[in-house]
Amino acid sequence: MAARSIASGTISFGLVSIPVRLFSATQAQSAISFNLLHAKCGSRLKQQYICPRDDNEVVERDQMVKGYEFAKDRYVTFTPEELKALEEKASQQIEISEFVPTESIDPVYFDKAYYLGPEKGADRAYRLLAEAMRATGRTALARYAARGKQYLVQLRPIDGGGLVMQQLMYADEVRSFDEVGLEEAPDVKPQELELAKQIIGQIATDEFQPKKYEDDVKKRIQSQIQRKIDGQQIEIGEAPAPQTQVIDLMEALKASLAARTAKGPQPVPDEPARTGPKAVEDDEGRKPAKRAPRSERAAPKASRK
């Protein structure tokens, strides 16, 4: 089914304007959630807001106002009209401010991604911008105002001649790694580095293949939920034993390399395994378990916070 655009905008750089449509590039994983029920009768519980100062009086929504806490337990309140006036006016303009080397943007700044598709009649300018960025190895930084907020975004070309608008975090939204801190440690030994490089080489691939990876935990939970629906007891297995702490790094590296060498190279399928085709036996003569069909995911939402 064709994707449905969630908004429209105009890319502008210099005197060039490119009308585009926005499409959500991802779809939120339909997380498995559990509701709170009354243990006595099994009814779903409802949430209420109470005022602790007025003897836990239940407060209805038409009696609520929004406020900002500027000091401990001190607030200034705002009317809906005042809050509306504070919002950024949605211009739908994607105004490019500069072009930077693609690799200069750390992925830690990445937030939500959107596909950009050209409006009718804008195909030539759209492809020109994409090819120009690809040829120069640069991506565009722009500002985009929508839904009462102003966003910092990156425009970058992708395979096939298309464009992605990657919403970025602002600098004050990304924590410094200095807050984590690293303790002083001895220098890496050349022998250890060589062994680590060999281990990396054994399991290295030339490209990222996202279809190889699935949410096994979600599949397991769905399977156990279905057992409960069918009136069966869920299977409760023992937690895996914790791994022992590495004492001798060199010995651990050698053991890892030897174990991988003994196991031999593992075939990497081009696509996830499907139910039906004949399973292929591995080097030990065992057949790998079939994967369950991928569950349907929720349709992309038309708006975001």
pTM for this prediction: 0.66
pLDDT band at 266 (very low <50, low <70, confident <90, very high): low
Averaged confidence pLDDT in the chain: 82
Query: For residue 112, what are its two tokens?
Result: 């939500």
CB 150 within 8 A of CB 89: no
CB 165 within 8 A of CB 116: yes
How far is residue 194's CA from residue 241's CA, in Å, rounded to a whole number? Answer: 30
**How buried is residue 203: exposed, middle or buried, by Cβ count under 10 Å (0-12/13-18/19+)?**
exposed
**Domains located in the chain, CATH noted:** 7-27+89-173 (2.40.290.10)
Is the per-residue pLDDT at 278 higher than 60?
no
Q: Encode pLDDT of 218-256 as tens digits.
A: 888 888 888 888 888 877 777 666 665 656 777 887 888
Q: Enumerate residues 6+ apart whose C-beta is below 8 A from 254.
A: 195
CB 49 within 8 A of CB 64: yes
For tokens 């440690």, the residue is 185
Q: Amino acid letter at 235?
A: E
Please report the pLDDT score of residue 85 as a whole number: 84
Cα–Cα nearest to 112, from 71, 154, 84: 154
Please report the pLDDT score of residue 110 as a whole number: 95
How far is residue 148's CA from residue 136's CA, in Å, rounded to a whole number? Answer: 34
Q: Encode pLDDT of 182-206 as tens digits.
A: 888 778 888 889 988 988 888 888 9
